[in-house]
Structure 1
Amino acid sequence: MAAVCVFCASSVTVAQSYLDLARETGIRLAEAGHTLVSGGARVGMMGAVTSGARSAGGYTVGIIVEALAAVEIADTGSDELVVAGSMLDRKGQMIDRSDAFLVLPGGLGTLDELFEVWTTAGLGMHAKPVVVVNAGGFYDGLLTWLGRLVTLGMVREAALESLIIVDTLDGALAQLATSLKEVG
């Protein structure tokens, strides 16, 4: 199966519903036989997605930056834990080690990762699907703003259309399966 990188919040102050979504995501990816690639933290949604994957027998790869590992939030229970020297190196390794990207709700780090994989796909640096889970309308404001950027000529409409936007985990997993078959 595929290596699926999940981007999501590592914050410890998120609502339980987001933690539940992350845990269910990890479980469902593992049940489908996918390897989970994550940001390597054991806290917040990031910790929930990896613990969910492990609870269902999934293989987990955590890629964390050295500065975060030093403050003892690294997920040392990962099957593979990679310590990158910088955030740029971390994102590069996450892209290289993954066949697809699943973006759950998150903060600045999640947005940074989303824009990195979306931009590099748009530049033809990879053809890996990027699926955004707009759970409960989480990304509605961002999507409205991106639509405005298309209207202003700042973003190509095709670039916006290349993002796979879904409202539910079931929809995300279905789109992920279809997209992975297409990129073969």
Structure 2
Amino acid sequence: MSIPKKPDAAKLVISVFMNDKELFDELLPVLEKAFGPTENISGWFDFDYTDYYEGEMGTPLFRRMLSFGSLIAQDDLARIKETTNAMEKTWAVNGRRNLNLDPGYLLLSRFVLATGKDFSHRIYIGRGIYAEVTLMFKKGKFHSLAWTYPDYASTEMTDFLMDVRRQYVTDLK
């Protein structure tokens, strides 16, 4: 018989992409008010792996990744996704998003993203939100899975997540 135990706290990571980099300066204090001070902020990544968002958000699109100093309970992810969805609506104009926020969390063994979209490899976590293991960590590095979006498998992304993971290891001590 397995004995349930409280899961480890996780490192909150949020992907932000937009077509107007100036929005980031407005958004950052709102994110920090909701989730606490940021710990790591990536440089700008080009978001050119898909044209899925171009009709709504235009081009070019740019991404930044953020991690936060305070650890979160893993079961807070659905609530966090609801909060980021509300933020997206705040910045929307005529029903079109100007930014996209994708929260997730990092543990020693994996990186998990939240989404409102169901699919065979996603697990329902409540509040209309699903979670997917996007990357696994083994043998000293992150590994993509069959469903991992190419941008999350990129070197710039996994390098950023390695930095976040190193901080997370320190946080756990």
Looking at secondary structure, tell me which structure has more helix per residue: 1
What is the TM-score with the length of structure 1 in the denominator? 0.28
* TM-score, length basis structure 2: 0.29
Please state which structure has a larger fraction of its residues in strand. 2
